[in-house]
Structure 1
């Protein structure tokens, strides 16, 4: 049995929008038309793709699996249309960026926006592992990540290097110093991001190599939470130097005794690197790297 293209398109539109009403409006179709197409797809295979809850819908487990496939399908269709229909002029279009820090992406976005004012952008922030997953799952077009990658499916270039620094509450016992060796972490409480964060990965690796054992670890889910926890006295925080913002409640400390330099990379799926929007973003990054 051949899968109905219209049924898949209707399903994808509803899954993406979260409701039949929003999907109908986005696709300029009537809601009954979409409902009929989705129901025909479900009936043809004797499955349920959505749980209906009033005007909202929720994907069933099968629907979630199908949505992963239709995302690839319709992303490829959009790419083909973009390539053939001339958005290479970049007079319009939408670029989805996933970044592990807004700090590292804004310069390239500002440059691209100035050159192509008709473009729109969306930016999501996650840890280094999450943003790579987003380009692999076709959720994002490009990723800014501190995680180097040798996967042949991924194309990447180095954007910049940054150093990790420590910071503490202004009344912390180490606040009288401007720099500390890695050995100073011994017996100290530390505050770090969740696993998947390159900041955590690097500092834990350096501590292990130096055979330094901190006391307690407080794990939090965002940079803002790290900052708040450190200011409240929960321990030593670690962050990229470019991300640290001066605060009278915090003391910045340079780290010594190990290599704390970390690269930041721009990445995309290798087969998408020649798409006009993606290619142009990489060109903006290259100009920043070269200082032009």
Structure 2
């Protein structure tokens, strides 16, 4: 036997109002319907929910327990409504963002927060494959990644065009180079990302195109892990040029076979909408326009 939420709400309304008629007015249904809900529970479960005294219905102790359940149901329903509506409300709204790299995503989040400080933000980080899957399955509202396929599934807004570069410790013999080649790098201790990384796909294509088959000294699952390995002198790693805001002694050196520029974009399912999402894309448009204007001012 089970009891429906509708019946529990009817019981709670009768307990609050003292009569079937008043409960019916509260719920916006007929008095016979309220009576049927209450009596149905009493008959099916063999219990008494109300005692009549002085013309009013008074809840039994068992009924009061059901009323506690009804209150929790109402709280849960209100919470569900807030979850479903907050992405469409800029006042006290919420947005979840998936990042493949810390930058330029964090800079964009900072701009969005400045424009809409009442919107809360949660961030999920991961590989290209992980963030793309999170966007497709709606586990995050928007993603920020390079080289997102323009295949019609996604709405996109350009943030920056950038290339993959080698990252080298300042004490490395390669640190003085202005540009590197895959042939130079094949003899160095290499630090790679795991499969699923957009960075690693570019690196693999470059070495394959040069007819080389590198064996990395170390393979790590995060960009930050690669960065720390290079900072500790373990080897040469790779990252998107604008993938971090850190300005320490790590050198970023272009690689001849990796000189192609890729678009890093904000993206979301094309059929998705909402005020908070629209505001995030608006911030992305401002951010991207500013980056492109700065690049144009610097010249080639």
TM-score in same-fold range (> 0.5): yes
The residue number in structure 2 matching 1:152 is: 152
Contact preservation (8 Å) 1:96, 1:142: yes
Q: CA 1:175 to 1:159, structure 2 compared with 1: closer, same or farther past 3 Å? A: closer
Q: How does 1:206-225 map to 2 (within 5 A)?
A: 206-225=206-225
| Number of matched pairs | 223
Q: What does the per-residue CA deviation read over 1:212-266, in whole Å, with 9 as the maximum and x for residues that have no partner?
A: 2324342112222112222333321111222353434x34322224434222111
Structure 1: any 5+ residue segments left out of the alignment?
Answer: 7-29, 38-73
Q: 1:253, 1:150 → 2: CA distance?
A: 29
Shift of 1:209: 1.0
- Comparing 258-267 with 140-149, greater Cα deviation is found at 258-267
Task: Indicate the structure with greater strand content.
Answer: 1
Q: Distance in 2 between matches of 1:5 and 1:283?
A: 42
Task: Give the secondary-structure state (helix, strand or coil) at the position aligned to 2:121.
Answer: strand
Q: Which has the larger radius of gyration?
A: 2
Deviation for aligned residue 1:143: 0.5
Task: Show CA shifts across 1:50-92 (max 9, x none).
Answer: xxxxxxxxxxxxxxxxxxxxxxxx999955x469xxx55x122
Kindly provide the CA deviation profile for residues 139-189 of structure 1, in whole angstroms up to 9, marking residues without a partner as x. 100000113224433222322111221122333332332321232122332
Pairing 1:247–2:248 present: yes
Matched, 1:269 2:278: no
Structure 1 SS opposite 2:108:
helix
- Distance in 1 separating the partners of 2:80 and 2:212: 47
| Unaligned segments of structure 2, at least 5 residues | 7-65, 74-78, 294-300
Partner of 1:278 in structure 2?
A: 277
Partner of 2:117: 117
Aligned partners of 2:146, 2:116: CA distance in 1, in Å?
27
C-alpha separation in 2, matches of 1:177 and 1:286: 36
In the superposition, the TM-score normalised over structure 1's length comes to 0.66
State the Cα distance separating 1:107 from its structure 2 match: 2.9
Q: Aligned in 2, Cα 1:258/1:192: closer, same or farther, shift over 3 Å?
A: closer
TM score, norm. by length of structure 2: 0.64
1:131-280 equivalent positions in 2, closer than 5 A:
131-243=131-243, 245-248=246-249, 250-272=250-272, 274-280=273-279
